[in-house]
Structure 1
Amino acid sequence: MASELSAAPVLSTPAEHTFFEDPTPASAIEQAKRPHRPDHELYEVYEIVRTVAEVRQNGWKRIALQFPDAMLPDAPWVVGALSSELEKEQKENQEQKQRLYILADTSYSSCCVDEIAAEHADADGVVHYGRACLSPTSRLPVLHIFTRQKLDYETVAEAFEIEFPEKTEKTILMADVMFQEHVTPICELLSERGYTNVIATEIVRDPTGTIPNRKLVFPDESADYNLNEYHLFHIATPPTSLLLTLSSRLASLRIYSTPSSPYTTTSETPDPSTTPALLRRRYALVIRLATASIIGILVNTLSVKNYMSTISTLRSQIAAAGKKSYTIVVGKLNAAKLANFAEIDGWVVVGCWESGLVEHENLWKPVITPFELELALQGEESRIWTGEWWGGIEGVKAPAITDGNDEHNLGQEKEEVIETTGDVEGGVDDEESEPPEFDLRTGKLVSHSRPMRLAIRSVPRSAPKTDTVSLNLNPASSAIVKRAVGDVALVNGVASPGAEFLRSQRTWQGLGTDFGAEDDNEESTVVEEGRSGIARGYTVGSDRLQT
């Protein structure tokens, strides 16, 4: 026995194995080599004094510090600076010592406050650094430190003059939250240079505003302003979701790219002229989802306020359209995770107004926003693309039938359909007399875009209405409902397209055993003792094996 196991298993890692190449990403190496910044400058960038004052005022004892990836190299310094300032206050006021925790890996998007990770540390509040989507949180209070960035006003003004040579052009000046403090001084400089219609912006926590999280400072608040006549000059590179939103609401968008900074994750400047092409691509995804039969609700946040009610509303919308939905939580998104759910025809994201736009490469199935889903579920006659676009969960409208109970809603929908279907001329009911549905991309007939209504239609007309509903909603029922194209699998008495896909189309159905499939009387094998011990010296029976 010992001689048979004298060699190391194939899956063992060779002892002489070494990394010949540094696996660290090039971007991380570049960030680590960035120029050293003196302490007095970092004090201003991270607003140490203001942070300590806010922490003391709020009475926080356990504080979570959330950094985006680009700022993580400064995290130890920030903790040290905050600890020093807090200790001074504690000695003077004899207060209990505060504890600081670094949230190094956010659960979802870095623009959102990671309440889940903060709750693991039992934090009283979160200090969020860098750019933020400013979506309302649901459980913990948050202090946003956008960080203070330098900006050359003369260079910005010269770039503005090149983009807008006419001094009377109607323009709005906006900046990323990290550069927001510079908007008012630049507006004053432009006014000195003769510009008369430059409107400044201020930060407000309102993602649903005409300009998300911004308030327009008009000279005369009582006057009527048409934003479609205004051009936008944006300082710093905006996220793609903001780019699409602004392009659909204003006359044009110009971007001033700020100098390379260690606190930005990309140096590429998007071209606003490509926005119409991006919007057309989004509409193509809407058309593709219009004929989807199974839609996955992809949860991309666990902290944005009202995300749970949005999930319930989306379920009701999908059920009212006769389609099936499944709610999935996978953490940070990538193509490999979503490819595990082969039965899903398309996804709708529940997240903040920035993370709702998913543009990852190699995605097998389309991923859209709740706003786009509402368009996809409409009929071809009522579906009108106006060019408007939105990426967040705000504004999601509930269908007529909703009370938070999915099975009850589905039962109400079934009962309503059964009541309204009746025999018409030729022995065809109203559901079957509907016009055929075609995929506008391929021109092919789609016969399964509403699987839940197909299950309802297959119920025998001779059966009483009450018996039909109780059959489909009985949790103990395992009956199979017949339909024209085969059988429908039921889960707790409700038709399940996902279970049917698993039963009929998946070639691999997970780990299991085929024992008893051919011979139910076959005896089980004898259980034998395997290896025990640690990797450097397993014990097999009475022999010891060195590896």
Structure 2
Amino acid sequence: MASSNAYYSNAEDVLRRESSAVGSKQTSKEDIFEIYEIARCSKHIKDHKCKKVALQFPDSLLVDATSVAYELEKACDDANIYIMADTSYGHCDIDEVNAKHVDADLIIHYGESGLTQSATVPALHVFGKYESPIDCEDVKRSFREAFPVKETTRIVFLHHVMCNYVVGEISQSLVNEYLYLSIGQLNIPTDPGGSNLTTDTKDSGNVLADLCTKSCPGCTCRMEDESKPEPAESDSNNVEISQSGMETDSLHPQECKDYVTGFYTVPLESDKSISDYEIFYLGPKNCQSLQNFILSHPSCKVHVYDPEKGYEIMRANTNRQLMKRYCLVEKAKDARLVGILVGTMGVSGYLQCLNYMKEIAKFAGKKTYTFIMGKLTPEKLANYLEIDIYVLIANPEHSILDSADFYRPVVTPYEFSVACNPNQEWTSHYITDFREILPGGSKHVELPANRSQEVTFSLVTGNMRGGAEDEDFSSTSNTVALRNEQTDVAVFGENSSAQRLSERSWKGLEQSIGATAVSKAKEGRSGLAVSYNELMEF
């Protein structure tokens, strides 16, 4: 049997590999219109006069791709519909690279989404429905059992993007029972690709200021009965009596503030923080969006209703996870050669993040190399043995990787910023979105004026690092090699890739012209590369 390793694939496994899309059940024609929102998509195409529309599906929904494209073509005579069968990066990312091959002026993204702003091509999100049926009555029953005290308990209701279609039905009855229930709203991009394709709400401020949606905590209109006459004017203490008989301070929606975290915008009381609330999450408990939220808010108690497994209280060991991530920060401090992995081209700000990573690496005296990769594998990264650590610029849904499978650690931009910027502190509130640490972001911290010469102790290697004698890899020269008058290569540029290659003991296949004896040609291997019929004898 062929041997296998973490850094190369087993030949027999490749031959037996099956596609995850095989065996998927095709959606009926009646459900196609509802699940894939054909009417909304066709209206959007017509309203914005889109001529070339690219459809992006995850592998699990590709079985319905042709049916969706057929219905859209029938509804939009002037538009050409294209199906992107393979994504350049993760299925949550907007694949602008493939869309540009046909010069598309709109991407319709189906299924689970990272809700990130597209960089150049406008995008429309269609979440569809969760693969398992959701029992709304059981969700409400579990919610009431988890929070029996309705008058004082502060709760934030969050949900997975593919559960969005049932949130309205569930929250409509719960907000009338719980005074301090806050409904988190998805941060769906409203200005995709820099074009005003939808109503611009950038200057609208707090969306609850002009219209009460009953999603803000403490909103007294939840307790009002429209069939009853208007209550009399309250006294000087401004106290109102609700239907439940509870005295409550008069809280107008304008007194709420919008708290933005990851996927969600959550209305909170102006004098409260997210840590004062308990979290109820509707969706799969192992999804990355929930894990990111828990990592960023370790003090919050999280209740989860998984449509497949039911209700439970999350008991994640956040402190242990943060300790593991901080260990990677220490390794990033020791690294001299850094590989910056561009894991997305569909998230706005990725180029700014790339430049910022180079800037802070240069400040810390590190040498950087840029790699543009689609789907990362340990085999790809193991080809570059000289790299000490990698920084992954990607959608927040895909930015945190388990480095145990990789030859070198893979860190996030936030972790690398902590390692290189002395002013950036490591806190218990982990940052998953790289745009928050960029200049102009809410968590951005300026670099010091000068690089410190203080000697520090490495917690990983046990060696001393820093100081005036520490090797500086941040050369400002872009010269690869210096040439003499005969234009022959004389000296490689400092810390250049050519210099690194010349120091390798094995540099690949060498021609050895004149040093190899002449011999007759022999029959070589035959068959597929993953499984040759016979091997040559050497």
| TM-score over 0.5 (shorter chain) | yes
Q: CA deviation at 1:502?
A: 2.7
**Residue 322 of structure 1 pairs with residue 305 of structure 2:** no
Q: Could you tell me whether the CA contact under 8 Å between 2:378 and 2:405 is conserved in 1? A: yes
- Where 1:340 maps in the other structure, the secondary structure is coil
Work out the CA distance in 1 between the residues paired with 2:471 and 2:343.
26
The aligned amino acid for 2:144 is: E
**Residue 313 of structure 1 pairs with residue 356 of structure 2:** yes
My pick for the range that moved more, 162-171 or 106-115, is: 162-171
Work out the CA distance in 2 between the residues paired with 1:143 and 1:387.
35
Q: Could you tell me whether the CA contact under 8 Å between 1:241 and 1:391 is conserved in 2? A: no
Equivalent pairs, count: 428
Percent identical residues: 28
Q: Could you tell me whether the CA contact under 8 Å between 2:42 and 2:72 is conserved in 1? A: yes
Q: When the two structures are superposed, what TM-score results if normalisation uses the length of structure 1?
A: 0.69
**Residue 159 of structure 1 pairs with residue 142 of structure 2:** yes
The aligned amino acid for 2:108 is: V
Partner of 2:266: 216
Partner of 2:495: 496
Partner of 2:153: 169
Partner of 1:277: 320
Work out the CA distance in 2 between the residues paired with 1:503 and 1:338.
20
Q: Pairwise mapping of residues 44-443 of structure 1 onto structure 2 (< 5 A)? A: 44-86=34-76, 90=77, 96=78, 98-149=79-130, 151-167=134-150, 168-192=152-176, 194-205=177-188, 210-217=260-267, 223-237=270-284, 239-240=287-288, 242-249=290-297, 251-259=300-308, 271-359=314-402, 362-379=405-422, 384-397=425-438, 434-435=454-455, 437-443=456-462
Work out the CA distance in 2 between the residues paired with 1:53 and 1:230.
40
CA distance 1:24–1:477, change in 2 (3 Å): closer
Work out the CA distance in 2 between the residues paired with 1:450 and 1:353.
38
Partner of 2:235: none
Q: Could you tell me whether the CA contact under 8 Å between 1:490 and 1:499 is conserved in 2? A: no
- Where 1:157 maps in the other structure, the secondary structure is helix
- Where 2:482 maps in the other structure, the secondary structure is coil
Which structure would you say has the larger Rg? 1
Deviations 1:387-408 (A, max 9, x none): 1212232133469xxxxxxxxx
Partner of 1:477: 482
Work out the CA distance in 1 between the residues paired with 2:97 and 2:340.
20
Q: CA deviation at 1:445?
A: 4.4
Q: Which runs of 5+ in 1 are unaligned?
A: 1-18, 91-95, 261-266, 400-412, 418-429, 457-468, 480-488, 536-547
Partner of 1:25: 18
CA distance 1:490–1:246, change in 2 (3 Å): farther
- Where 1:256 maps in the other structure, the secondary structure is strand
Work out the CA distance in 2 between the residues paired with 1:289 and 1:122.
40
Q: CA deviation at 1:138?
A: 1.5
CA distance 1:206–1:170, change in 2 (3 Å): farther
Q: CA deviation at 1:530?
A: 11
Select the structure that is richer in helix.
Answer: 1
Q: Could you tell me whether the CA contact under 8 Å between 2:20 and 2:60 is conserved in 1? A: no
CA distance 1:271–1:231, change in 2 (3 Å): closer
Q: Could you tell me whether the CA contact under 8 Å between 1:354 and 1:392 is conserved in 2? A: no
The aligned amino acid for 2:187 is: V
The aligned amino acid for 2:34 is: E
Q: Could you tell me whether the CA contact under 8 Å between 2:56 and 2:108 is conserved in 1? A: yes
Q: CA deviation at 1:375?
A: 0.9
Work out the CA distance in 2 between the residues paired with 1:140 and 1:188.
35
Work out the CA distance in 2 between the residues paired with 1:21 and 1:344.
28
Work out the CA distance in 2 between the residues paired with 1:280 and 1:49.
49
- Where 2:157 maps in the other structure, the secondary structure is strand
Work out the CA distance in 1 between the residues paired with 2:101 and 2:186.
30
Q: CA deviation at 1:24?
A: 4.9
Deviations 1:474-495 (A, max 9, x none): 676369xxxxxxxxx975x4x2
Q: Could you tell me whether the CA contact under 8 Å between 1:184 and 1:200 is conserved in 2? A: no
CA distance 1:144–1:206, change in 2 (3 Å): closer
Deviations 1:430-489 (A, max 9, x none): 96xx53x44302424458999752798xxxxxxxxxxxx9xx67676369xxxxxxxxx9
Partner of 2:513: 515
**Residue 453 of structure 1 pairs with residue 443 of structure 2:** no
My pick for the range that moved more, 355-364 or 297-306, is: 355-364
CA distance 1:85–1:156, change in 2 (3 Å): same
My pick for the range that moved more, 506-515 or 101-110, is: 506-515
Q: Could you tell me whether the CA contact under 8 Å between 2:302 and 2:314 is conserved in 1? A: no
- Where 1:365 maps in the other structure, the secondary structure is coil
Q: CA deviation at 1:510?
A: 2.6
Work out the CA distance in 2 between the residues paired with 1:153 and 1:100.
36
CA distance 1:362–1:475, change in 2 (3 Å): closer
Q: Pairwise mapping of residues 26-45 of structure 1 onto structure 2 (< 5 A)? A: 27-29=20-22, 31-32=23-24, 34=25, 37-45=27-35
Q: When the two structures are superposed, what TM-score results if normalisation uses the length of structure 2?
A: 0.70
Q: CA deviation at 1:72?
A: 1.0
Work out the CA distance in 2 between the residues paired with 1:154 and 1:65.
34
Q: Could you tell me whether the CA contact under 8 Å between 1:321 and 1:450 is conserved in 2? A: no
Work out the CA distance in 2 between the residues paired with 1:45 and 1:276.
40
Work out the CA distance in 1 between the residues paired with 2:468 and 2:89.
31
CA distance 1:140–1:256, change in 2 (3 Å): same
Q: CA deviation at 1:247?
A: 4.2
CA distance 1:442–1:24, change in 2 (3 Å): closer
CA distance 1:303–1:511, change in 2 (3 Å): farther
Deviations 1:220-271 (A, max 9, x none): 7xx33211111111111263354233443362222211239xxxxxx99995
CA distance 1:475–1:496, change in 2 (3 Å): closer
Once superposed, what is the RMSD of the aligned Cα atoms?
3.9
The aligned amino acid for 2:178 is: Y
Q: Could you tell me whether the CA contact under 8 Å between 2:157 and 2:280 is conserved in 1? A: yes
